[in-house]
Every structure is written in structure tokens, then in C-alpha cells.
Amino acid sequence: MASLDGALLDFKRMERLADGESPLHRLEPRAKLLVTLLFMATVISYDRYAVTAMIPLFIFPVVMLSLGNLPPAYIAGKIALLTPFAVAAGFFNPLFDHEVLLRIGSLEITGGWLSFTSILLRGMLTIGGGLILVALTGFPAICRALEQLGAPRLFAVQLLFLYRYLFVLLEEGGTLSRARELRSVGKRGLGMRSFAPLIGHLLLRTWRRAERIHLAMLARGFTGEFHTTRESRFGGRELLFLSGWSTLFITLRLWNLPRLLGTLVTEFIP
């Protein structure tokens, strides 16, 4: 029960973060979405052995966290929670790629370890960029921005419903889990024999509640369109935000700044 309630509180905290009043919060959602997509495309476009070249890209999440007044520890915790998936994706690389690509003194680093580190960095950067986008914009505004950028309305609405359904699922799951614990004596009634029926009841309860929510939306005139309280206008600030980050990403992708800096240092320092 505690884990379900904690997950629900995390979702609600992300919703509250999106209601901030920082300059980044006030930007039009399409600008933030386009910049984040370009950032992710830049990250995944690097070579499989690229490590140092991607380090300057951390400037994007750091600046966005600072200007958006987001809690760094909270976002870092969410990134750490999802990073094991990136670790699993590259876990076997050091076992199969034994070619030595880098030597630091007597230390030999194989391509497997480089590719593993590269995958880990890509995961941290892309996950962090996505979480920051949601914390600064809110998922409903992101879905609306997708529709405005040309995505099918049905796709955007389904994404929004999926996101909202998670709240329903967690709330109903917390209620059933709490009832299960209250009806148990010690550890009796908490085993796997009662877990399977609990999952069935959870699906039925969430299905019925989702139907009631849908009927209530139809009764209030829902026609599949998004309605927000904030005006949506792509102006000069958004254009400057998009062009500035785009220029930086292209520059970092075309030139390996850590390598250039290392070359300059070795040339001028004997």
C-alpha cells in the first residue's frame, strides 16, 4: 500500500511542479517540446563509443533545472530510478567487445566498456530531458502541443487518457491494498493466493470507474478537444529559446569540445 500511495504522490508532485511560475513554465509548450526532442535526437545521434563528446550536453538539464526552479534532488532520484534499464541494455557489452580502444597510462579500456558508458550517459540525458519537460510543462499541455505540431488528435487524446488512467489505477490499487491489509491477521491473507483475485478486482474497479469518468466528461460536453486556461502563442521568446538551444546542440554535435580543449591544453602546456 505504501508503494502505491508513494507512486501516486509522485505523480501528483510532478503535476504541482508543472504549475510553477518561472520563465520556463510560461513558455509556449511547443517550444519546450521541440527543444527537448532536438536534444534527445542529438544525444542518440552520437557514435556508440562516444563518451566525452556527450558530457557538455549536461548543460541542458542543469540550466533547465536552475531556470525552472525545479528540485534537483527529486529529478535526480527519478533519473536514478529509471537508469537501471539503461544499465541492462548495455550490461553485456564489456563481455563481447574486447577490443582495446583507449589507453590511459597502463590502464586499457575496451570498446565494450566505452559503449556501456555511452549507453548509460544516453539514458541519463534522455530520461532527464523527458522528466524536466513534464515537470515544466505538464503532460496535458504536452499532448496538446503534439496535436498542434501535427500529431493525430486520436493519438494525443489516447496519450492523455493513458496518463490520467494511471491516477485511477493507483488510487483504486491503494484502496484495495489498504482493505486487504485491514482484513488480514498478521501475515495471514497477504500471500500470493489473495494477490491474483486482487488484480482481477483492481481491473474491474478501474474499468468501471473509468467508464463513469468518461460519461461525466461526455455530460460536460467533451468532444475530444483540448481546453486550457493558458493562452497558447508562439512568439519571440519561444523563437529565441528554440533557436538558441538548437544552435548549441548543433555546435556540440559537430565539434567535440572536450577533445578540442584537451588538444589546446597539450599544445600550450609543455
Model confidence pTM above 0.95: no
Using one digit for the tens of pLDDT, what is the confidence trace for 17-60? 888 888 898 899 999 999 999 999 999 999 888 888 899 999 99
Cβ(157)–Cβ(88) below 8 Å:
no
At 3, the pLDDT band (50, 70, 90 cuts) reads: low
Q: What is the pLDDT of residue 250?
A: 93
User: Could you tell me which residue, 106 or 253, shows the higher pLDDT?
Assistant: 253
Q: What is the pLDDT of residue 187?
A: 61
Q: What is the pLDDT of residue 251?
A: 93
Using one digit for the tens of pLDDT, what is the confidence trace for 60-113? 999 999 999 999 988 888 888 888 888 888 888 888 877 777 777 777 788 888
Q: What is the pLDDT of residue 33?
A: 94
- Look over the chain and give the mean of its residue pLDDT values, rounded to a whole number: 81
Residues ≥6 apart with Cβ < 8 Å to 110: 94, 97, 98, 99, 100, 101
Residues ≥6 apart with Cβ < 8 Å to 46: 53, 54, 118, 122, 253
Q: What is the pLDDT of residue 44?
A: 92
Cβ(54)–Cβ(258) below 8 Å:
no
Residues ≥6 apart with Cβ < 8 Å to 105: none
Cβ(58)–Cβ(125) below 8 Å:
yes
Residues ≥6 apart with Cβ < 8 Å to 184: 190
The residue written with cell numbers 498478521 in the block is 186
Q: What is the pLDDT of residue 150?
A: 86
Longest dimension (CA), the chain: 77
Q: What is the pLDDT of residue 2?
A: 44
Cβ(124)–Cβ(79) below 8 Å:
yes
Q: Give the cell for residue 213.
A: 469518468
pLDDT at 139 over 90: no
Q: Give the cell for residue 159.
A: 496519450
